[in-house]
Amino acid sequence: MGYIDLDERQHAHVRFAARVFGVTEGEVVARAVREYARATPPPDRPGADPLQPVAVYGEYEKRRVEGEYLPATRRLTITSDPLAGREFKSPSGAARAAIAAINPARTSTQANGWRFWHLVATGERLEVLR
């Protein structure tokens, strides 16, 4: 079994968490490590480097709209027609604009951009990078 060094304050936090959750101190540390590992994307996963754009796409009425999402700023630039080159402050703003461009007659363009856009590399919803 391995050991880790904690100062008294850190150890007090671990002891407190163990009491709150009804687990051992070791389980508190194990859970924290598992959670950190889950939240940290592998280096080859889209979005691992927040400064690298991630290729995304959305589909509406059987039309595909492509774009690039920049994790560092959370901005999305549409790269295909009908809005090629337009940058939006949020994935939802880009989704609303894409829907309105494809179907101008639609009265409500409410859209959750985190669910509208998908990663080109994996097909997962953009919300996995949130």
Query: Is 47 within the bounds of a domain?
Result: no
Residue 21 lies in a domain: yes
Position 41 scores a pLDDT of 63
- In a domain? residue 44: no
One domain, residues 122 and 68 = yes
Residue 35 domain flag: yes
- Pair (60, 114) in one structural domain: yes
Q: DSSP assignment of 60-83, as one string?
A: ETTEEEEEEEETTTTEEEE-STTS
86 lies in some domain:
yes
- At 95 the pLDDT is 97
Please report the pLDDT score of residue 120 as a whole number. 97
Whether residue 115 sits in one domain with residue 74 = yes
Does the N-terminal peptide bond of residue 82 adopt cis geometry, omega within 30 degrees of 0?
Answer: yes
The answer to whether position 112 is within a domain reads: yes
Domain count, the chain: 2
Q: Is the same domain home to 88 and 118?
A: yes
Could you give the dihedral angle defined by the CA atoms of residues 12, 37, 40 and 20, in that order, rounded to the nearest 10 degrees?
A: -40
Looking at residue 125, what is its pLDDT? 96
Q: Tell me, yes or no, whether 24 lies in a domain.
A: yes
pLDDT, position 39: 65
Verify that 35 and 58 share a domain, yes or no: no
Write out the residue range of the structural domain in which residue 68 sits. Answer: 54-129
Low-confidence ranges of the chain (pLDDT < 70): 37, 39-43
Q: Which of 88, 99, 96, 92 is CA-nearest to residue 115? A: 92
pLDDT of residue 28: 87
> Same structural domain for residues 24 and 77?
no
